Amino acid sequence: MGMAASQARLLSITSRMSDNELRSQIINNSKMRLATESSKVSEEYINALNSATMMMSNYNTTGESQYQKLSFNSLTSYSSYNNQYGLINANGKILVSEKDANIFREIKNTDGDLDDYLAAYGLEYKSTYFTEDVLGGKSVTFEDIGQTYTIEELEKMYYGDAENDILSYDQALQSTEYVNFNDYYNELILADENYTATVSDAINKDIFHGPANSTGETWESMYSKYINVDPSTQSVSYFKGGINYLKAEIQRLKNENKLENSDWLTTIESMIASLNFSGNNLIVTSTVPVKNNGDGTYTIDNNIKVDTHHAHRYDTGKKNDEGEPIYSYRYDNNVSVINAGDDETSYKITSGGGCTSSNNLNFTYSVTETGEAEDGSSESATTKYTYKYKIGDPTATVTYTITDAAAAQQIVSQIILEFQSGIVNNVKRDAYKGTDQNAAAASEAYEKALDKYIQLVFGNVTSDQRAEISANKEMLKDPGYIITWAKEHGIQTSNGFELIKQIYLLDQLFNVYGEPSAGWIDVNNPDENADAKVQWYTNLYNRMEQGYAVLEDGLASSNEWIEFALESGLVTMEQVDTNNNWTSTIYTNISDITEVTDDAAVAKAEAEYNKAMNNIENKDKRYDMELKNIDTEHNSLQTEYDSVKSVIDKNIERSFKIYS
């Protein structure tokens, strides 16, 4: 019975030891699972740390900086401050939004161009010139032609109006009418100059190289006889022949109706009439200005000052209409005559002059002028002047006597040369076209050029109007003159002239308000930098011309899609450089794209990690303690097992000894 109890105890100990080993194995397995859980928690935390979102840094249209998740829309959105990027697919085509693709297709389907494409985005090339702010009102009046135009009318003249068949300013400048206007005018002036030159040759043949007059003299012989002769070998009266020849030549030209009735000829005849050859003297009569200085002195011919205080005054006993006494004056050799100009000229009263009434101041004085002769010697000449002045008149009549042949030659030569220089421009050109073949041909060419010009500008005109147009041909290049002249004469200008008028009016406008400054305007956002927007969409248009693909709106706004597309190499990127060329680039090299970690997600993952790790550590400590307890119990059971087994072994040994 003792042995049975020991064996039962041994079996119980063995069972408990086996149970401890099983429990120890289970706990160790649990500890191993803790390591797996720890690794999983760490991985989740690391994933949270490594989880970053691609962000895009750009600007909106107002220039405000914005930071948003990267997507196709944020990457390619327009702003004048943004860099321009594009996504390129595997076929080298640029990805565009559905909107951009629809606009591009519509433009191409209607044979549109870049300007039409830009217009679809509200971009127009125009000017703010034609506004009330610039032009100062709703209309502009052109004073020189007396016409008023509204701003709208002037704007249509500049930009054109296809609906009303109005060409633009640039088109008008290139028009046949405007080109012909300038060409026809130049042809007319050239024909006129040629006609004048041809007539000038005819005049030279007729007058300067023509046949001798009734006295046997020609212009050349007269010229040599009176102008080129040495005056020291002749008397004053000798030069009367030159004047007589000129008078006869003028009369001949008048009789032949070859001279115009012009101021030029009147001046020449007045100069001739002022000369009177008396004996061996030349008496010249002319008028000179007189100024009443208001202090008893008079300045005559802007040079000689006469002091009437030194004249003898006599009361006539009469009164004028204002009741003032009337005096008469008489000068003697003591009258003060002051040289107001040339200090080298001396004046001296040579004889007294009598006055029959107070209205006339008559005096005579001589002037001696000294000069240097060609041989270096000094020479002088004295001229006697007689003045007649009626008080209150602005001029005085002066006669002076020339006694020097050189002075007489100078006066006669001046008149002859004056006639010679003016005859070509003051002769009736038509007077020679019947007698000179070249003049006739030049006249015909001029008439054709004039007809062509008139037909372009006016259409049909009367003969009198034609003659007046011809007489004012120098003004015909001025459209303002043409408009005014036509209005004054009741003439309707031609339809072709309207383009010339249009150019003239705009040029007048530009002279006052400056040239229009046209530029790009964003009609949807007038304050925005339209030039930058134009360049942006021009770049996009040019790139789409090389091929494009449409990106659906859903993908265009997706951050996940673009991250996957870039990281997987599904798409590449291009950027517009400073020369507006598209160049390849890598998204990781773009400073506008950054990766940003979600701090909230990281903080949450960290908290969960710490919590999980604390639980794992607590479990691990509990498992260690349980293993320690099992190990202690196991050692105790092992000791008890050894002791019981020893007892059993001894009992067996004694039993064998008893029965052996």
Q: pLDDT band at 579, cuts 50/70/90?
A: very high
Give the separation between CA 105 and CA 537, rounded to whole angstroms: 15
Q: What backbone phi and psi angles, to 5 degrees, belong to 331?
A: -100, 150
Which of these ranges, 171-185, 207-221, 281-295, 361-375, has the smallest mean pLDDT?
361-375
Q: What is the pLDDT of residue 97?
A: 93
| Residue 93 pLDDT > 50 | yes
More confident residue, 148 or 654: 148
Q: How far is CA 119 from CA 62, 107, 115, in A?
A: 21, 10, 6
Mean pLDDT calculated for residue range 569-588: 91
Instruction: Convert 587-609 to b/e letters by CB count within 10 Å (16 or more is b).
Output: beebebbeeeeeeeeeeebeeeb
More confident residue, 518 or 122: 122
Q: What is the pLDDT of residue 4?
A: 67
The answer to whether 313 and 329 have CB atoms below 8 angstroms apart is yes
**Per-residue DSSP letter, 223:** I
The structure tokens listed for 200 are: 């000038």
| Residue 54 pLDDT > 50 | yes
| Residue 342 pLDDT > 60 | no
Q: pLDDT band at 381, cuts 50/70/90?
A: low
What percentage of residues in the chain have a pLDDT greater than 90?
A: 24
Q: What is the pLDDT of residue 422?
A: 84
Q: pLDDT band at 337, cuts 50/70/90?
A: low
Q: How far is CA 582 from CA 70, 550, 579, in A?
A: 21, 19, 9
- Cβ neighbours of 567 (radius 10 Å): 11
Q: What is the 3-state secondary structure (H, E, C) of 10-59?
A: HHHHHHHHHHHHHHHHHHHHHHHHHHHHHHHHHHHHHHHHHCEEEEEEEE
Q: What backbone phi and psi angles, to 5 degrees, belong to 306?
A: -110, 125
Q: How many alpha carbons lie under 13 Å from residue 317 in its C-beta half-sphere?
A: 0
- Cβ neighbours of 660 (radius 10 Å): 5
Residue-wise pLDDT for 192-243, tens only, equals 989 888 888 888 888 777 777 777 788 888 889 999 999 999 999 999 999 9
Mean pLDDT calculated for residue range 604-621: 69
Across the chain, mean pLDDT equals 80
| Residue 367 pLDDT > 70 | no
Q: Which of 256-270, 273-287, 458-472, 510-524 has the highest mean predicted lDDT (pLDDT)?
A: 273-287
The structure tokens listed for 364 are: 């005579």
Which of these ranges, 341-345, 498-502, 607-611, has the smallest mean pLDDT?
341-345
What are the contacts of 524-528 at 24+ separation with CB within 8 A? Answer: 524/121, 524/122, 525/61, 525/122, 528/61, 528/80
More confident residue, 440 or 305: 440
Q: What is the pLDDT of residue 360?
A: 61
Closest CA to 334 of 357, 350, 358: 350
Q: What is the pLDDT of residue 374?
A: 62
Q: What is the pLDDT of residue 310?
A: 54
The answer to whether 339 and 302 have CB atoms below 8 angstroms apart is no
Distance between alpha carbon 643 and the CA centroid of its chain, in Å? 121
Q: What is the pLDDT of residue 638?
A: 76
Q: Model-level pTM?
A: 0.48
What percentage of residues in the chain have a pLDDT greater than 70?
A: 78
More confident residue, 215 or 566: 566
Q: pLDDT band at 352, cuts 50/70/90?
A: very low
Element (H, E) at 276: strand 275-278
Q: How many alpha carbons lie under 13 Å from residue 538 in its C-beta half-sphere?
A: 12
Mean pLDDT calculated for residue range 301-312: 64
**Helices in 519-558 by DSSP H: which ranges?**
530-545, 553-556
Q: What is the pLDDT of residue 350?
A: 41
Question: Beta strands 94-96 and 548-550: pairing type?
Answer: parallel
The answer to whether 496 and 456 have CB atoms below 8 angstroms apart is yes
Give the separation between CA 151 and CA 134, rounded to whole angstroms: 10
> 334: helix, coil or strand?
coil
Mean pLDDT calculated for residue range 125-133: 81
Which of these ranges, 1-15, 59-73, 358-372, has the smallest mean pLDDT?
358-372
| Residue 265 pLDDT > 70 | yes
| Residue 612 pLDDT > 60 | yes
| Residue 439 pLDDT > 60 | yes
Q: pLDDT band at 603, cuts 50/70/90?
A: low
Mean pLDDT calculated for residue range 454-463: 88
More confident residue, 48 or 556: 556
Q: What is the pLDDT of residue 346?
A: 45
| Residue 653 pLDDT > 80 | no
Residue listed under structure tokens 């969409």:
537
Give the separation between CA 401 and CA 383, rounded to whole angstroms: 6
Mean pLDDT calculated for residue range 437-453: 91
Which of these ranges, 3-12, 280-289, 300-309, 345-354, has the smallest mean pLDDT?
345-354
Burial class (CB in 10 A: 0-12, 13-18, 19+), 614: exposed
The answer to whether 531 and 520 have CB atoms below 8 angstroms apart is yes
Q: Which of 108-117, 154-163, 313-322 has the highest mean predicted lDDT (pLDDT)?
A: 108-117
Radius of gyration of the chain from its Cα atoms, rounded to whole angstroms = 60
| Residue 448 pLDDT > 80 | yes
The structure tokens listed for 347 are: 């004046």
Which of these ranges, 331-345, 435-449, 596-610, has the smallest mean pLDDT?
331-345
> 514: helix, coil or strand?
coil
Which of these ranges, 222-236, 301-315, 637-651, has the smallest mean pLDDT?
301-315
Spatial CB neighbours of 385, under 8 Å, sequence gap ≥ 6: 364, 365, 366, 367, 398, 399, 400
Q: How far is CA 39 from CA 46, 295, 604, 610, 612, in A?
A: 10, 128, 18, 13, 11
Give the separation between CA 143 and CA 141, rounded to whole angstroms: 6
Question: Beta strands 336-339 and 304-307: pairing type?
Answer: antiparallel
Mean pLDDT calculated for residue range 473-485: 87
> 364: helix, coil or strand?
strand
Longest dimension (CA), the chain: 215
N-term to C-term CA, the chain = 21
